[in-house]
Amino acid sequence: MSQQKTVSFKRPVLRGTLQVPGDKSISHRAVMLGSIATGKTTITGFLDGEDCLSTIGMFQKLGVTITREGTNVVVESPGIANWETPTEPLDAGNSGTTARLMLGILAGASVTSEMCGDQYLSKRPMKRVTDPLSMMGADITSEGQTDYLPLTIKGAILQAIDYNMPVASAQVKSAILLAGLQAKGITSVTEQAVSRDHTERMLMQFGAKVEQSGKTIRLQGGQQLTGTDVVVPGDISSAAFFMVAAAMVKDSEVIFEKVGLNPTRTGILDVLQSMGVTITVLDEKGFSGERYGDVKIQYSPLQATEIGGDVIPRLIDELPILALLATQAEGRTVIKDAEELRVKETDRIEAVATELRKLGAVIETTEDGMIITGPTPLTGGTLQSYGDHRLGMMAAIAGLITSEPIHIDNPSCIAISYPHFFEDLANLVKQ
Ligand code: S3P
């Protein structure tokens, strides 16, 4: 029988300060670059969620020494040239970022490995990465189709390519750049719309030279990385759940401390502002090439908005929770250009619409998004997580505004990106 969690509050208000867990994208990359590099890397504020633990597990099987005490991680690596051939398959679990970036890294490493993932990841497309990697000379094969895990990666001599990305995806961009690091020549990647640039920033932090002009990134192959210290800011994609909660629950006011403010990730703040939410950014700083700061969000009457175009990659993971917010906004919110949602941990367009409709939300789905008409009062019910952490958290936050309790089926997946989610929720809610 699947596990269930009930969220039920009588007239909640959210108040206080919150430091959300470390950024998932940056945590993955810190372990990856620390393992490619020679020497010691220390990571503070690491996200101890299941996805990032999958990344650590892979490198341990490759002979990298990684020790972790909570959110402090130390990586000691002999460098990519000296990794060991793993004796067991490398398991990416549920993590698309682990799988896709590791395909790029392993393509040019001097080991042969097999990569697998869980039932959800095994259905997510890998061809978007294996196609450009094959153009570079990668030797990636499978017993079935090379679009899906499990895959066998035999390290090969790679050649640089100039690649125009057909999809807006930081995972694809990063996989090519990380392969390019081992390739002969200068690799260039051109994006359609700018996606999160943590890989580029962190490569520079580890001593590589990366050039950026407009939407094109260039990297000379053969550069050596050296271990360094990485401080991981709070994950704005995790904060987004409580930002939306504070914005829609009457009289709420929450300060998010040390949350990442990299401009390629702050689309959520732009959209909240366009919906009428009062946002104050306090004490913005930069460290390790990443910006972060304290952000105050206050309850505000909400208006509908249009979310599409270049902002989409800057808030792609926030669209499920923004859809919930839109049910409380006056008017018709249109989400478009977001067809990538269909290949996330689950088809997030169908899943979000199906679950929110159970509560009475008025949502129409389109090929590339949703149209949400609000405001609608929401009733309670049983919502599915689809094994998708962001669907599980959306369901829990819905429980703050529903007239009856919300029961979440299979909530354990929330630990993929936010292990202490329910504790943080309980601490912020004053009844
Ligand atoms: C990520 C990129 C995005 C995002 C994912 C993390 C990354 O995926 O949805 O949660 O760390 O590079 P896509 O590259 O598929 O858009």
Q: Tens place of pLDDT for every residue, the chain, 431 residues?
A: 469 999 999 899 999 999 999 999 999 999 999 999 999 999 999 999 999 999 999 999 999 999 999 999 999 999 999 999 999 999 999 999 999 999 999 999 999 999 999 999 999 999 999 999 999 999 999 987 768 999 999 999 999 999 999 999 999 999 999 999 999 999 999 999 999 999 999 999 999 999 999 999 999 999 999 999 999 999 999 999 999 999 999 999 999 999 999 999 999 999 999 999 999 999 888 877 899 999 999 999 999 999 999 999 999 999 999 999 999 999 999 999 999 999 999 999 999 999 999 999 999 999 999 999 999 999 999 999 999 999 999 999 999 999 999 999 999 999 999 999 999 999 999 97
* Span from the CA of 95 to the centroid of ligand 1 (angstroms): 10
| CA atoms of 228 and 154, how far apart (whole Å) | 29
Q: Which atom of ligand 1 is nearest to the CA of 173?
A: 14
| CA atoms of 225 and 181, how far apart (whole Å) | 9
200 lines ligand 1 (CB under 6 A): no
CA 278 centroid distance within chain: 25
97 lines ligand 1 (CB under 6 A): yes
DSSP-derived secondary structure for 94-146: T-HHHHHHHHHHHHTSS-EEEEE--TTGGGS--HHHHHHHHHTT-EEE-SS-T
| CA atoms of 261 and 252, how far apart (whole Å) | 22
131 lines ligand 1 (CB under 6 A): no
pLDDT at 2: 63
* Span from the CA of 172 to the centroid of ligand 1 (angstroms): 9
Q: Which atom of ligand 1 is nearest to the CA of 101?
A: 12
pLDDT at 143: 87
pLDDT at 1: 46
The closest residue, in CA terms, to atom 10 on ligand 1 is: 317
3-state secondary structure 251-279: CCEEEEEEEECCCCCCHHHHHHHHCCCEE
Question: Is residue 411 within 8 Å of 3, Cβ to Cβ?
Answer: yes
pLDDT tens for each residue of 385-415: 999 999 999 999 999 999 999 999 999 999 9
pLDDT at 289: 85
The closest residue, in CA terms, to atom 13 on ligand 1 is: 169
Which residues does residue 39 pair with via DSSP β-bridges, in sequence order?
A: 77
Catalytic site positions = 317
317 lines ligand 1 (CB under 6 A): yes
262 lines ligand 1 (CB under 6 A): no
